[in-house]
Amino acid sequence: ATPTALMVGTGRGAQLGILIKGPEVLETTRAVDTIVLDKTGTVTTGRMTLLAVRTAEGVTEDEVLRLAGALENASEHPVARAVAAGAAERVGTLPAPEDFANVPGLGVQGVVEGHAVLVGREKLLGDWAMELTPELAAAKQEAERAGRTAIAVAWDGEARAVLEVADAVKDTSAEAVRRLRALGLTPILLTGDNRTVAEAVAAEVGIDEVVAEVMPEDKVDVVRRLQSEGRSVAMVGDGVNDAAALATADLGLAMGTGTDAAIEAGDLTLVRGDLNAAADAIRLSRRTLGTIR
Ligand code: ADP
Ligand code: MG
């Protein structure tokens, strides 16, 4: 393509809400055949809500919300914001944790009012040699089959509750997936969330391939594996967790509504956070480079 065509293409991209880092990006955009989509914040809104609290015997919802809410109040994760907001609504002002640590891809841990508290995936409890009671494990399964993320809460060495949180699929996601398929791309859903939840979301938007329960640092390996199969891979993401995968993908598309880390790592920014702009970008590149039928 001529420099003029690339400039025109870049300008047209800006009109469509697609910020392109450099003219050469249009060339890689044209070539991609696989598109990996992060779940939370990319396919879904990322605005999660706390929907239910399931407690173990002898435990009250209020004490669960007070301790879990206090810890999550110190985290920026979408799950954490949902738990903290739901807790504050129910129990009022939350205490400040005496100790706090974020465990990426797993949850949070710390000390609240003298209790050693864990909030996060079942695996986080497992790392501390704790497990869900049979009742809580059943509650977790039930939540996940309904497409909700189940968050375990433990303190002082025992599992105490399961929190159910969920966010909605963006109303533009299913249409965007259809358009990406029509352009010949294979969509793959990638998430750190539970497999059952991921499959429920994938089914809702029309994606057949799901890679779930992936640790943040392993998302980049999923991209590399696809590349080693000879695929040309686009990755769409919004989180700090997605930055390495966005940088490694042949084409990184960052949600403009996402984190600065993702935007810096991407080749393209989808300003409005609408996945349809990913399909627009592919069409635009093919058109600019003269391969559209
Ligand atoms: P995604 O890949 O969907 O953007 P993450 O890798 O950030 O998600 O997190 C994976 C999973 O770890 C979440 O679905 C949640 O179950 C758990 N998790 C992560 N951070 C927290 C937190 N602060 N509180 C509770 N659970 C968390
Ligand atoms: Mg995300």
pLDDT digits (tens, 9 = 90+) for 117-153: 999 999 999 999 999 999 999 999 999 988 899 999 9
> Is pLDDT at 291 greater than 60 in this prediction?
no
Per the prediction, the chain carries an average pLDDT of 94
pLDDT digits (tens, 9 = 90+) for 248-266: 999 999 999 999 999 999 9
Cβ contact 246:266 at 8 Å: yes
- The fourth-level CATH superfamily of domain 49-166 is Calcium-transporting ATPase, cytoplasmic domain N (3.40.1110.10)
Q: What is the ipTM of this complex?
A: 0.93
Helix (H, G, I), strand (E, B) or coil at 75: coil
pLDDT-derived band at 160 (thresholds 50, 70, 90) equals very high
d(CA 106, CA 66): 20
pLDDT digits (tens, 9 = 90+) for 58-108: 999 999 999 999 999 999 888 999 999 999 999 999 999 999 999 999 999
pLDDT digits (tens, 9 = 90+) for 177-193: 999 999 999 999 999 99
Helix (H, G, I), strand (E, B) or coil at 149: strand
pLDDT digits (tens, 9 = 90+) for 163-175: 999 999 999 999 9
Find the 61 Cα to ligand 1 centroid distance in Å.
22
pTM score? 0.86
Cβ contact 72:53 at 8 Å: no
Active site residue 156: no
Mutate to test the pocket of ligand 1, among 77, 102, 214 (most ligand atoms within 8 A of CB): 77
Q: Which residues line ligand 1 (CB under 6 A)?
A: 38-40, 72, 75, 77, 79-80, 105-108, 119-121, 149, 151, 191-193, 216, 239, 241
Q: Give the domain ranges of the chain.
A: 3-45+169-288, 49-166
Q: Determine phi and psi for 51, rounding to 5 degrees.
A: -105, -30
Exposure letters 182-199 (e unless 16+ CB within 10 A, then b) = ebebbbbbbbbbbebbbb
CATH (residue range 3-45+169-288): 3.40.50.1000
pLDDT digits (tens, 9 = 90+) for 270-287: 999 999 999 999 999 888
Q: Does this chain's domain 3-45+169-288 share its CATH topology with 49-166?
A: no
**β-pairing, 158-166 with 186-190?**
unpaired
